[in-house]
Chain A
């Protein structure tokens, strides 16, 4: 019985970790599907989302004595919106000033620029976050605000203990996935996105504003990354300026795993990666090895199924 419980416990852990990866991975995949750019700064957009949520909490006056329902229904959504605003603004700025001038350059140029943007954003937060009056210095980890009712709270299902932060992450993924499906398949901007990913020149000749579509792709990815940033803060209890590096790398792995450019692929890839990491840490040696298994999985998929689990190079049916 304990073995069964252990398995389900690890499965839930894996799914919630995987949801985190999936939320970030969608940003890699949507942007890649439309401009064929691996936006290596996307991990930092995720980090900025967490810091934006933190800043919102500071602006609200660091409320820590709110009741659980009030925190979940008001405080958390406001923090998420703050994080989304920060992430989307930074993502659009990088698109406008770093990537757009290189739209027609050889593909290596925007790729290297993305790495530069990533380093710039990390260092910017590290050096300047503490200059905002009353804000803590970001040179080391900052404790993420605890949201009563979610931080540290758990629910018991059978013999399995589920953290509320895991429930929040999974729910966020489900909501975002439904939203994305609707957005891509049932709105004209979504149709314009699919069209642009398939043939940008023809899309232009059909009257589509390709610049706007590209901005929409960056914005959608950044919004989901910000939600992931908040989820990460709630899960681990602290945030730091370099949290985007490993999370971004894992999410990129998830996107490639599922088939880069494919939204469903990013979600499935993220969940698979999370579950594999979690189960491997339990059953295949020490947890220090979990990254090894994650990247072994990536290598295996690239060798035997290079197009990814779900395939496709374009933003396809979400």
Chain B
């Protein structure tokens, strides 16, 4: 996965689209464990990119490096041509938002309030405006509420505005997380296993929602174990194994790459009964 400096410096690649996210040689080391090893990945604007790999491959760790939750041991992440700022809240301002593998909504707030929290970084009023109830504050509150309702409608959650988020059904909570991420007005949306625990119908709805998000002009980087979902959805797929990018390319190439198949279900030579591979059996069941 070597990207030469000259190639990387170009903000427009061969496909003619802007490079939005440009992670260069990102390495994340926890003590003796190298969770992410020299990973480079580009996402262009308006593109849906999938990130797959067996459990423990470092996908979520890579996400955490991108959003500023972890500071990579080495390597740099560029977003829209600029190196990422060091704090998560500033990363959000540059235009990158994410959802979580295990839902992390603000459980004791209503659906509407959750979305409005996402708008925090885009609104301008300060505490003084609020205390003295200046018109600016009132107008902004009204506008934020209106926008939050629109976003809830966009993800299909009309009517749940005033319900506490912890009381929503599981699938709705996932969609609410997406609405909250959209509220930060991102250019790139990072989705960490958006269909985990969903039934096939909900998965199809999620797929359709992600296409609609792409149609808004956003780029999407999505981690998922559901292969049909990934290969339906993504323009490109990268397969991460033991912290390294094994293959990257269009769906078909990745799907049929023997190394990917081996990473998921083990090599054909070894019979699991005689020589259980390191995590071959486990990987298959998770996929």
Task: Closest B residue to A187 by CB, please name it.
Answer: B130
Interface residues of B in 15-45 (CB under 8 A from A): none
Interface check B216, CB cutoff 8 A:
no
Residues of the A chain whose Cβ atoms lie less than 8 Å from the Cβ of B107:
198
Interface check B67, CB cutoff 8 A:
yes
**Taking A198-B108, A202-B106, A314-B108 as contacts, is the C-beta distance between A208 and B117 under 8 angstroms?**
yes
Residues of the B chain whose Cβ atoms lie less than 8 Å from the Cβ of A191:
109, 113, 116-117, 120
Interface check B211, CB cutoff 8 A:
no
Rounded to whole angstroms, the CA-CA distance of A206 and B121 in the bound complex is 8
- Annotate B47-58 by CB proximity to A: 1 below 8 A, 0 otherwise: 000000000000
Residues of the A chain whose Cβ atoms lie less than 8 Å from the Cβ of B141:
186-188
Total residue contacts A-B, CB cutoff 8 A: 84
- Annotate B91-120 by CB proximity to A: 1 below 8 A, 0 otherwise: 011000110100010111100010011111
Give the number of chain B interface residues (Cβ < 8 Å).
34
Interface check B137, CB cutoff 8 A:
yes
Interface residues of A in 181-207 (CB under 8 A from B): 183, 186-192, 194-195, 198-199, 201-207
Rounded to whole angstroms, the CA-CA distance of A208 and B118 in the bound complex is 8
**Taking A183-B130, A195-B106, A216-B127 as contacts, is the C-beta distance between A202 and B100 under 8 angstroms?**
yes
Task: Closest A residue to B184 by CB, please name it.
Answer: A207
Interface check B69, CB cutoff 8 A:
yes
Residues of the A chain whose Cβ atoms lie less than 8 Å from the Cβ of B118:
206-207
Interface check B88, CB cutoff 8 A:
yes
Interface check B175, CB cutoff 8 A:
no
Rounded to whole angstroms, the CA-CA distance of A83 and B228 in the bound complex is 65
A198 and B106 contact, CB distance less than 8 A: yes
Rounded to whole angstroms, the CA-CA distance of A194 and B141 in the bound complex is 17
B108 and A206 contact, CB distance less than 8 A: no
Residues of the B chain whose Cβ atoms lie less than 8 Å from the Cβ of A210:
89
B88 and A192 contact, CB distance less than 8 A: no
Residues of the A chain whose Cβ atoms lie less than 8 Å from the Cβ of B88:
201, 204-205
Please tell me which one of the listed residues A188, A194, A203, A204 contacts residue B123 in the complex, with CB atoms under 8 A apart: A188
B69 and A183 contact, CB distance less than 8 A: no
Distance (Å) between the CB of B185 and the closest chain A CB? 10
B89 and A204 contact, CB distance less than 8 A: yes
Please tell me which one of the listed residues A183, A192, A199, A207 contacts residue B104 in the complex, with CB atoms under 8 A apart: A199
Rounded to whole angstroms, the CA-CA distance of A237 and B142 in the bound complex is 47
Interface check B270, CB cutoff 8 A:
no
B127 and A192 contact, CB distance less than 8 A: no
Interface check B131, CB cutoff 8 A:
yes
Distance (Å) between the CB of B286 and the closest chain A CB? 25
Task: Closest A residue to B137 by CB, please name it.
Answer: A187
- Annotate B124-145 by CB proximity to A: 1 below 8 A, 0 otherwise: 0111001100000100010010
Interface check A209, CB cutoff 8 A:
yes
Rounded to whole angstroms, the CA-CA distance of A195 and B110 in the bound complex is 11
Rounded to whole angstroms, the CA-CA distance of A190 and B106 in the bound complex is 14
B69 and A206 contact, CB distance less than 8 A: no
Interface check A316, CB cutoff 8 A:
yes
Residues of the A chain whose Cβ atoms lie less than 8 Å from the Cβ of B127:
187, 189, 216
- In the A-B complex, list the 8 residue pairs whose CB atoms are closest, starting with the nearest: A207-B121, A207-B92, A187-B130, A204-B88, A202-B104, A195-B117, A198-B106, A195-B106
- Chain A residues within 8 Å of B, Cβ to Cβ: 183, 186-192, 194-195, 198-199, 201-210, 216, 314, 316
- Chain B residues within 8 Å of A, Cβ to Cβ: 67, 69, 87-89, 92-93, 97-98, 100, 104, 106-109, 113, 116-123, 125-127, 130-131, 137, 141, 144, 180, 184
